Structure 1
């Protein structure tokens, strides 16, 4: 009956291969029994009160922390690493604290059992090699504290109070972080399972002479037996481990029982962001960007799950888990990384009455009445305490510090940053050909066509349905001849079929995850009965990567790329539609220890396969649904199975902002919504919003109506086409932003406060966003909207990118947003490169000319950058690129190479420069290679727009344009 527990909307799973009749019949029978619901049933996923370790951690509230540090145990491991002993005074369990100083104002705190009876799990291969910095420790025996000073930033101090243990971190003598100030640190030590005491053997009573007495005595004996049965249990309870609580060794959710052979091993820690009222991060949740207080309600949950038609305004777990949090106020930005791959719950207390001692004392001495504080309680099912503190101070600093630890974004090929067309499913080769031709016929650009699970031979990945796709190589080559690519889906579940080469070979090699009894784990997914690769093993990842070469993946070409779906992992008949926690991976760890890593391990392996097939020459592209710390190094993600509703359109902005703040530069949401059918107005508005989001793909459920843009009335088709063309015009700007993300970790899509960190009114704002430093975008997410109220921060003013109307700032303005327009404004003082000759795909635009849009600030200045390379190889790693710094000041526009040693030969030239906010000139001259020549121009006095035509210089050169 476990199916009944986990399939309230089973209809989405009915579309199985016709070869999988048993699974379809089961689904159909289920629908006959149960009414189909419209959205996810939250009861199919755990609440904190249904998770034993979450309950225990939340209920741990001592008046004084039992964890005490021995100041005399302080020892210097090396110049950047000190260690201390910690004892839990309640049970005398010993722990070791390690404090590390890392470069770029970063600290690491690690606490583990001193001598555990078994090794505790630590997340491997996630953190990059980061240089250390010197740290000095100064003990103070009088007050029982130790002060640590960082070598590269003497303004930063870490102070450990010993009894009870507490860590406070200061910057310029102001408190920033406080650890265990709420006394919630709680490490469940590993232990032997308690053995119940055997009952004493009962003696048989003598038989009475009188039968009546026998019956009476029998009743008395029964009562005595009941009392004897109860009494030993009570004694046993009194003598057992006081920490032995329900759910420590086994717990059941619905019909699934989770055995816990290692027993309880959860960890909890409170960390306070002192003098902060706003924190962000810990995706993925369909919620606001600024994290809400969870006092008296559900915590945020981080546990990768397959949640279809997910609810909005929810802290429930979704497809990805990144335990990284950012604190921001008008003075500084800081970051905190909780390194753990197990199920994690996060309580956030941002209520006004939650002030801690540290903040209160600081407020007193600083003469401030109230110092805000956000207290965060981290609770993970297993692992060790491993926390990284990034001291900022501005948003760009934190992103640099965080991506030094976790890796910067991969550099996507140009085509991956464009518009992609997908649905479940394009039916056959003729369907692919018709859709491709439709884009050309209606003059709508696109770069990539996607195929979902129905393209395979019975959901056997790396295969093709030969009736529907008899010549996949020719199909891909036909797209490639136009400059386009194709993506096919390859999921981690492997159909159990000894005639299927992938299953047969993996089984022979012993590469599948095992049940706790050592047998092969099997669960249900799209093919029906499925096995799951043990991707925690390097040899399995290498084997998976070897499957992508065309010699093995028959019917593939170098123009075929990959979509890794269902990699949470999704197991239809498993607990919470995922894998059982007590199944075993090859290194002996249970799945509970590695769960949130599974998706990134699949994506990592797929990327390795794509690199190998081109001998490392071509940049890979792999889309993943599940994600974790460091996913940005491997590819893109999307927000999963959203719904064609206005609320989901609006929710895409805060969801993607949160993901970007956690390092993932390339992310998006299914345009139009995966489930249900959007009306034409909603679909048009969705295209307009998504054109300004990093990953731009339309995708839809198999039961939805077809949505190709030309299937709508001309009015809507033209609006959708215009939105897509806007994306293609902006590709030079987007590509530059992705290069900057690759270098520094800064997200292309970012919240307003990222660019205007001192503007308090932006801290809660997530209905608008920045694209890079220059563009402010406020999508329309409500029907029948003709006017949009837009807040414009900063002091340099803004220009409407379509009308060139100027708006002073800071200001809130009403902008006309009829159906064919959303609010997009360019910030005064910025330069945005575009290509105005839009072709059918980006490959045909590589050498096309550029137009620079220069929005001049009231001070008469503007800055920008332009990055250029071949768009698809790794030549940029060998200085085959051009990166130009653009500067306008003193009425001169200058383009100068940021790296003179880098060079990429291109025929692309400068076709036009549009200046906004300037006076009418009398003469304009260009200087290049020491030669000066005049330029033609026109001027529009009502908008103060100057257009300089055909400078004609190659963009790779250094040059200047002077306005007189």
Structure 2
């Protein structure tokens, strides 16, 4: 193909994917395994469990088809783990010589998890016949033999918690050898899938008892609580699809799958609390949520006191985990025991990021950077998209536009700032490009169905893709991030992985063919949803090796899978500059947090389109509370840096950014909580108020930690907002200190200056009120404590501090304090555990101000111990650097060290 023709084809392909085109993507009706599963009648599988015994400390059994004696038996293994986790594995029997081994997803379950297995000593026989095993205190796992069913039971009440195959919908299509006349090919549009082992799908039902709603299974733009997709009084709709896809300008309300797939669902209800289910399977998945009532078509009766779901996958095995809660945070802890807790980010990465596709050249970078300084707007990271490279060859620089990359980065670093460059998985097929040449010679690319190197089209044109399923290739890829290999990179440069679904412009559904081949003969259909995960993992490992293991990586990824939280951040992809996309960003970010991906955010302002100033300001005001706070825009949009919309809007945007920087100590403490417990930084209201039914479907407001409630403004020219403040305690307006009653919906006036945000009574918030150019320059600044007293005149909160960049905190080099206000006294307590290495984090930082909200008037001074110093209590501004800030009770300059034990008694 000559160059002109190649360029024309590329233009056509690019335009082909630059907007949502429904016909490009398959529906369930066009997906044979989904069609077959949905048409299956209840109890059609007619399976029985036989030969139930204990082997290697786990329950094992054979699953026999009673309706088809020719079907080979399956092997079932049930293991019990600490933290009340139940694992179910169902696979073909290897002793019966299947055509190949089915794919078990590697490197997702953390290495230490198998050691948590409880060694089963016996199986208890029950009526039915059934077998039960101990799960945890008061809970048993029960295997009913005939018909086959598995459920978790509360032994004290006899009530079920979770069940598997209670409707008899389990089906497992076994691999086959092709015989003459077999036609297993599937065709979609112009693409043909050879399917060399025939249909190999799996489907089953899972029921959540005592549940009112289910959540999770990202990624899509839809409500937080998953709406029913089938059943009585439900218009037949698409299942929720899990299939990583590059979807430009996605629809703001659709079950359609986007860039990531995390097959983890969490339920919640007022009476039982929460439970969870995780299916470790990286093939395409479709999931139905069934509405309660009698479904005449399926013949299933669905009670209203539980939620029934139906799971379908194209390939893989059953490797399922059951989490019994009972509280929402318990389920998150159990899930991250299996898949790992979120990585602890560097401090700079949770501050504000400035990005667009693309900053033109070094002069443009310098201008943008200096303009932030001129206008006193802090930021920490400036990003470069694909145009900074030499012809879309990653790890290179355009020598005309970016001739001095190291000097450019050093200038930013001198102000405590960082740079991020993009590195995507498609490698330009150019024999003069050293990366392609080496990958070709080593055979490191994904192969097509014929065993040749796969050739697809993406931004560089003809491209190939490293097979990062292979650990050897991941190590090779990681080496490319060394300073020697990535010429022009410096220690202040970090990485952005985009297009790693993987995106293939001329592939079926804009991705890689399902019959492409990976390491070990694994078909792409089997690992598709995890391809980006392995690529992300390899990139993060590269930054670890680059920094000799003591520099925490920062890698943003677009494609995610279970376990991605261990390697970096994610954003919600190519959204649009409209009010609907602003609104749906909240359930999207909340859902990612519920499934482990706590470090997430949406492109502030919308990637596509040109936001009106009001929308952009509202997006900054909301985005300041995202865990990942980045403005980003398409290259066809008008420039939209914070100063492009007039002086007043610049001030409003600056104020929103300042709020984020003031709250960085609080956010960083929450990231440490996520790192140790799996509990997300931003949370649905029901996670903090699990008995309040008014919170169960509220996805316009959210909690930041346990202390802040934020309500977005999602309509143009809004004058009022209805805000539900849950709980029995009061709430304090974050900006004014005005107190509001809990358990009530308040109709509040809305101004252009801010969105509604409230501090929960009974909490202590940590802030830094001095604004610098970047978070790095705030390191030694003093702290402000905002004490919001409850009706008992009590409050508490925490503060976590470390060096913000290294792994020394794992050796004990950190400060962790709990502040408790009770009986008129504020006490600082040490929460840091003793370190065997005797490593400590030194800090001279002090508490500069203590603000008391809700304290009875009349107190004039306070006594500081152990210094025995008396200090005045006075009226001071709630926010120092804000005009018209209300006056509140303030203890100024107590100057107690943040790392020490002390108390302050109000007199």
Q: Which residue of 1 aligns with 2:83?
A: 104
Q: Which residue of 1 aligns with 2:245?
A: 305
Segments of 5+ residues of structure 2 without an aligned counterpart are: 231-235, 879-885
- Find out whether 1:542 has 2:475 as its counterpart: yes
Q: Which residue of 1 aligns with 2:257?
A: 317
- Find out whether 1:617 has 2:554 as its counterpart: no
Once the two structures are superposed, the pairs formed by residues 102-141 of structure 1 within 5 Å of their partners are: 102-114=81-93, 115=96, 116-128=98-110, 129-130=112-113, 131-135=116-120, 137-140=122-125
- Give aligned pairs, total: 879
Once the two structures are superposed, the pairs formed by residues 823-834 of structure 1 within 5 Å of their partners are: 823-834=756-767
C-alpha displacement of 1:932: 1.2
In structure 1, which of residues 180, 197, 204 is the aligned counterpart of residue 165 of structure 2? 180
Query: Take 2:748 and 2:109, find their aligned partners in 1: how far apart are those partners?
Result: 45
Q: Which residue of 2 aligns with 1:225?
A: none
Q: Which residue of 1 aligns with 2:904?
A: 961
- Is 2:211–2:274's contact at 8 Å kept on the other side of the alignment? no
Once the two structures are superposed, the pairs formed by residues 934-945 of structure 1 within 5 Å of their partners are: 934-939=870-875, 945=888
In structure 2, which of residues 34, 39, 48 is the aligned counterpart of residue 68 of structure 1? 48
C-alpha displacement of 1:21: 5.6
1:4-46 alpha-carbon deviations (Å, 9 max, x no partner): xxxxxxxxxxxxxxx9765542355689xx9x99940111111
C-alpha displacement of 1:168: 1.8
Query: Take 2:20 and 2:808, find their aligned partners in 1: how far apart are those partners?
Result: 46
- Find out whether 1:908 has 2:845 as its counterpart: yes
Q: Which residue of 2 aligns with 1:13?
A: none
| DSSP 3-state at the match of 1:623 | strand
C-alpha displacement of 1:468: 0.3
Query: Take 2:793 and 2:83, find their aligned partners in 1: how far apart are those partners?
Result: 35
1:556-581 alpha-carbon deviations (Å, 9 max, x no partner): 10110000000000000000000011
- Find out whether 1:42 has 2:22 as its counterpart: yes
- Is 2:852–2:889's contact at 8 Å kept on the other side of the alignment? yes
- Find out whether 1:195 has 2:195 as its counterpart: no
C-alpha displacement of 1:814: 1.7
| DSSP 3-state at the match of 2:540 | helix
C-alpha displacement of 1:100: 0.6
Query: Take 2:386 and 2:588, find their aligned partners in 1: how far apart are those partners?
Result: 26
Query: Take 1:419 and 1:65, find their aligned partners in 2: how far apart are those partners?
Result: 54
Q: Which residue of 1 aligns with 2:407?
A: 474
User: Measured at CA, do residues 177 and 510 of structure 1 come closer, stay the same or move farther in structure 2, by a change above 3 Å?
Assistant: same
- Is 1:778–1:822's contact at 8 Å kept on the other side of the alignment? yes
Once the two structures are superposed, the pairs formed by residues 84-483 of structure 1 within 5 Å of their partners are: 84-92=61-69, 93-114=72-93, 115=96, 116-128=98-110, 129-130=112-113, 131-135=116-120, 137-140=122-125, 143-150=128-135, 153-171=136-154, 172=156, 173-196=158-181, 249-295=184-230, 296-330=236-270, 331-353=272-294, 371-483=304-416
- Is 2:133–2:140's contact at 8 Å kept on the other side of the alignment? yes
- Is 1:921–1:963's contact at 8 Å kept on the other side of the alignment? no
Query: Take 2:78 and 2:887, find their aligned partners in 1: how far apart are those partners?
Result: 58
C-alpha displacement of 1:78: 3.7
User: Measured at CA, do residues 380 and 74 of structure 1 come closer, stay the same or move farther in structure 2, by a change above 3 Å?
Assistant: same
C-alpha displacement of 1:162: 1.2
Query: Take 1:65 and 1:945, find their aligned partners in 2: how far apart are those partners?
Result: 68
Question: TM-score, normalising length from structure 2?
Answer: 0.94
C-alpha displacement of 1:816: 2.3
- Is 2:292–2:304's contact at 8 Å kept on the other side of the alignment? no
- Is 1:636–1:695's contact at 8 Å kept on the other side of the alignment? yes
User: Measured at CA, do residues 744 and 62 of structure 1 come closer, stay the same or move farther in structure 2, by a change above 3 Å?
Assistant: closer
- Is 1:548–1:613's contact at 8 Å kept on the other side of the alignment? yes
CA RMSD of superposed structures (Å): 2.2
C-alpha displacement of 1:940: 8.0
- Is 1:307–1:641's contact at 8 Å kept on the other side of the alignment? yes
Q: Which residue of 2 aligns with 1:11?
A: none
1:251-306 alpha-carbon deviations (Å, 9 max, x no partner): 00000000010111111111111221200000001000001101121100001000
Q: Which residue of 2 aligns with 1:637?
A: 570
Q: Which residue of 2 aligns with 1:53?
A: 33
Query: Take 1:37 and 1:322, find their aligned partners in 2: how far apart are those partners?
Result: 24
| DSSP 3-state at the match of 1:333 | strand
- Is 2:17–2:510's contact at 8 Å kept on the other side of the alignment? no
C-alpha displacement of 1:58: 1.3
Greater alpha carbon shift after TM alignment, 107-116 vs 669-678? 107-116
Q: Which residue of 2 aligns with 1:597?
A: 530
- Is 1:918–1:945's contact at 8 Å kept on the other side of the alignment? no
| DSSP 3-state at the match of 1:530 | strand
- Is 1:524–1:573's contact at 8 Å kept on the other side of the alignment? yes
Once the two structures are superposed, the pairs formed by residues 769-780 of structure 1 within 5 Å of their partners are: 769-780=702-713
Larger radius of gyration: 1
- Is 1:274–1:371's contact at 8 Å kept on the other side of the alignment? no
| DSSP 3-state at the match of 2:83 | coil
C-alpha displacement of 1:190: 1.5
- Is 1:69–1:84's contact at 8 Å kept on the other side of the alignment? yes
- Is 1:917–1:944's contact at 8 Å kept on the other side of the alignment? no
Query: Take 1:64 and 1:680, find their aligned partners in 2: how far apart are those partners?
Result: 58
User: Measured at CA, do residues 145 and 882 of structure 1 come closer, stay the same or move farther in structure 2, by a change above 3 Å?
Assistant: same
Q: Which residue of 2 aligns with 1:932?
A: 868
Query: Take 1:519 and 1:866, find their aligned partners in 2: how far apart are those partners?
Result: 55
Once the two structures are superposed, the pairs formed by residues 375-774 of structure 1 within 5 Å of their partners are: 375-774=308-707
Query: Take 2:99 and 2:38, find their aligned partners in 1: how far apart are those partners?
Result: 25
C-alpha displacement of 1:655: 0.4
In structure 2, which of residues 855, 862, 866 is the aligned counterpart of residue 918 of structure 1? 855
1:414-436 alpha-carbon deviations (Å, 9 max, x no partner): 00000000000000000000000
C-alpha displacement of 1:139: 4.4
| DSSP 3-state at the match of 2:777 | helix
C-alpha displacement of 1:405: 0.4
Query: Take 1:413 and 1:603, find their aligned partners in 2: how far apart are those partners?
Result: 17
User: Measured at CA, do residues 900 and 254 of structure 1 come closer, stay the same or move farther in structure 2, by a change above 3 Å?
Assistant: closer
C-alpha displacement of 1:936: 2.1
Query: Take 1:812 and 1:940, find their aligned partners in 2: how far apart are those partners?
Result: 30
- Is 2:275–2:326's contact at 8 Å kept on the other side of the alignment? yes
- Is 1:786–1:819's contact at 8 Å kept on the other side of the alignment? no
Greater alpha carbon shift after TM alignment, 809-818 vs 845-854? 809-818
Greater alpha carbon shift after TM alignment, 176-185 vs 521-530? 176-185
C-alpha displacement of 1:809: 1.1
| DSSP 3-state at the match of 2:526 | helix
- Is 1:289–1:657's contact at 8 Å kept on the other side of the alignment? yes
Query: Take 2:495 and 2:17, find their aligned partners in 1: how far apart are those partners?
Result: 32
Query: Take 1:583 and 1:931, find their aligned partners in 2: how far apart are those partners?
Result: 71
C-alpha displacement of 1:924: 3.3
Query: Take 2:867 and 2:611, find their aligned partners in 1: how far apart are those partners?
Result: 57
